[in-house]
Structure 1
Amino acid sequence: MPHCPCFMPASQEASLGDDSHPHPSTEGVASSTFNLSRELAHAFQTPSNNDRRSRLLEIDPTPENLELFLSQELKPNKERVQEALKDAKQTPLTQLVSTYFQHSEDATRLCLNLYQNVHSARFHLYTPLLELFSGDPAIDESFCNLAFDVFLKLDTFENPFSSPESFSFRDIKLCINQLKDKLDTRLCKSKSRVRHLHYATAGSALCLVTAVTASAVVIAYHALPTLLVVAGPLCSPYLPLSFKRKELTNISQLNAAAKGAFVLNIDLDTIDCLVSRLHMGIKNDKLLIRLGLERGRDMYSIQEFVKQLRKSHVNQTHQLDVLVAHICRSFSNVNKFRSLLLNEILTPRA
């Protein structure tokens, strides 16, 4: 299993969170100018994030309910995005922007569906164990028989988190990485065009000075037609200011999408790592349960297995809470950058 970062409780972590007032930006490529540490310093426990987590915990995580939750919580939603892009000219940039919105929605749906696994682990495995631990603390024959019966029931429970070999965000991460590369390439081209335009503008100013000087000389020799022949080609590099404004607008949109793809990829890495940990943790708990069943109703053996499961229970339930927190954090991050990008698209340019 790949190296995973340490996961602190949600209250100690940081996130981008929802931002109801995103600001246009013309910063450079995310990998070079995006200060992730500063962005992650935004409070993880934002009211919107806490509210979303509470609403998620309240629903019955059926596929229909989760899809409804996504449609209500994703901002801007799919319909709003389609409305904003319907009249846009179909260009490579428009296609990249549309692809970002689709990938971010798909990734959020994939993360949100993990809540079904969280709910299953809690309801079918860790709630029965908690009920067992909360009973009579005395380890007697009655308790051992009860524990053995609980073990029999839990032994049939399938691990809801697939193995790292079969479950990962590899496909969606590959799509997002490919999109990020295309965004960065397109962003570099737009910035290069702006630089060249700047040099051309400076050259045009030099051309004007040269033309004025040349006109003084030509007029002195009464040769105005020669001025038109000589100065005309020199001043031809003038380019419309609207072209520069268009490229700056492109840079703002590309930068917003590139940042969103960058942060989403980090969130997927974290969630993927958490899923791998939970898979191994539940696998080990089921192994303990199976060993307990193999030892039969021996009081000493049951006591030892219950002791080990009690320790594991604390860690595993905490990891489930952390996974839900990261799912909601990723949701907030997606909303932040979707809103930022849509704001860049809809912002009127002078």
Structure 2
Amino acid sequence: MLHCLRPSQPTSADNLRSHRLPFQGISSGITSSSGSQASTVLNVTNEYTSALQTSSYSEIRVFLDIETERPGEITQDQLLAQVLRPNRDFVEDILQRAKPGFITDLLWSFFDHSENKARLCLDLTQAIRRAHTLIAPLQDLLHVLPLDSETSSLSAPQCNSAFDLLLKYEQLENPFPSPGSRNVCGMRNCFSDLNTQLESLIKKSNSRIHFFHTVIIGFAIGLISITIGVIVVGVIIAKHAFIALAAAMVLPAAFIPSKMEKREQYLLRQLDAAQRGTFVLHEDIITIERLVNHLYSDIEVNKRFIRNGLWRGKDMHSIMEVSRQLKRNNVYFQKQLTDLEEHLCLSFAAINRARSHLIQIIKLRQDDRS
């Protein structure tokens, strides 16, 4: 299983753009109150639909097109430094100012997991490119072969070309990770474990806030009772002195739980943002896993069909039957490639929204304390 570790420090490059934290455009689906996961599930689809129209989606699409169309011109770390918002350097600068402890460690985990997920998206973008390279020659041939009619036949050159390309397709390695692969399943488990820990802490934080609120109300009721008691006793002359004394004793004590409640509210906002972002990205990993598994399986089915169909060598009827089947399969396969490619861009947009929202809340807390 994939270990939930922090990724290595990315390589710096002179041609990278300076980072600017995108606080604007934060998703409402991530910022909603804790405890409404059913609503969050519905918001995932809405976020992805609206993200298609945003400038961040268009920008991410441009960078991924560079990775797809001109591989090798930019390293993964350089590309990640430009696509990931906020980037690793900015996150480290903010979190290093936070008080060390279990909560801060969990916040680190969220940013590390989201960065690892972004790396997975880049890996899958490369897999899509390899898949296009795998099917492009065969696809071009299938378009020109006379496969629509049952009575048509192939010429000797067409038969030889089709046989060679089909055989090459069958022998090439599947570009997509197999179902149950260590990277995808391990990452899904990391998000799931983090989500469970954050949910537990949110419940405890809500309980503490309720306790502090109860204590504050108790102090207020006590102060009112003391005041009424003094009036009832009828010590008119000393009344103001007693009230002042009671207030002097009660109000400072009441201020302590009030301050603790405010601090707990800040903590709850951070935990809530981290949990909601974790939940959304975990659900997204499940969708990516499903899309990738379909693509992997379709390629393996095609390879097995070729292997079984060409056992007699360059037999024209076998080659035509295999080619017809692959041509039918290729229509759906191309659609799945497009769906995955689009979803990876949307995944980057979801990652950036979740990271930006959480870092904003952390930074607001630090600004308030300074």
Would the TM-score normalized by the shorter structure come out above 0.5? yes
- Deviation of 1:91 after TM superposition, in Å, equals 2.8
Paired position in structure 1 for 2:52:
45
Rounded Cα–Cα distance in structure 1 between residues aligned with 2:246 and 2:361: 44
Normalising by structure 2, we get a TM-score of 0.80
Normalising by structure 1, we get a TM-score of 0.84
Please give the per-residue CA displacement for 1:23-73, whole angstroms capped at 9, x wherever unaligned: 899854355575331353131413422332243123244596233211110
Paired position in structure 2 for 1:131:
140
Rounded Cα–Cα distance in structure 1 between residues aligned with 2:35 and 2:210: 19
Judged with a 3 Å threshold, the aligned counterparts in structure 2 of structure 1 residues 61 and 34 are, in CA distance, closer, same or farther, namely: farther
Please give the per-residue CA displacement for 1:188-236, whole angstroms capped at 9, x wherever unaligned: 2222222222222221221111111222244539898999999998778
The equivalences for 1:327-338 within 5 A come to 327-338=344-355
Paired residue secondary structure (2:255): coil
Q: Is the 8 A contact 2:159 2:314 kept in 1?
A: yes
Paired position in structure 1 for 2:111:
101
1:265 is the counterpart of 2:279: no
Please give the per-residue CA displacement for 1:98-148, whole angstroms capped at 9, x wherever unaligned: 111111111221232122221111102x10111102335374223222211
Q: Is the 8 A contact 1:144 1:302 kept in 2?
A: yes
1:56 is the counterpart of 2:64: yes
- Deviation of 1:167 after TM superposition, in Å, equals 4.6
Q: Is the 8 A contact 1:218 1:226 kept in 2?
A: no
Q: Is the 8 A contact 1:61 1:115 kept in 2?
A: no
Q: Is the 8 A contact 2:51 2:349 kept in 1?
A: no
Rounded Cα–Cα distance in structure 2 between residues aligned with 1:154 and 1:188: 53
Paired residue total = 332
The answer for unaligned runs of 5 or more in structure 1 is 1-17
Paired position in structure 2 for 1:282:
299
Paired position in structure 2 for 1:148:
163
One-letter amino acid of the structure 1 residue matched with residue 154 of structure 2: D
Query: Please, what is the CA RMSD of the aligned residues?
Result: 3.0
Q: Is the 8 A contact 2:310 2:318 kept in 1?
A: no
The answer for unaligned runs of 5 or more in structure 2 is 1-21, 147-151
Paired position in structure 1 for 2:193:
178
Identical counterparts, % of pairs: 31
Rounded Cα–Cα distance in structure 1 between residues aligned with 2:122 and 2:314: 41
Judged with a 3 Å threshold, the aligned counterparts in structure 2 of structure 1 residues 165 and 29 are, in CA distance, closer, same or farther, namely: same
- Deviation of 1:22 after TM superposition, in Å, equals 2.5
Rounded Cα–Cα distance in structure 2 between residues aligned with 1:120 and 1:143: 25
Q: Is the 8 A contact 1:30 1:262 kept in 2?
A: no
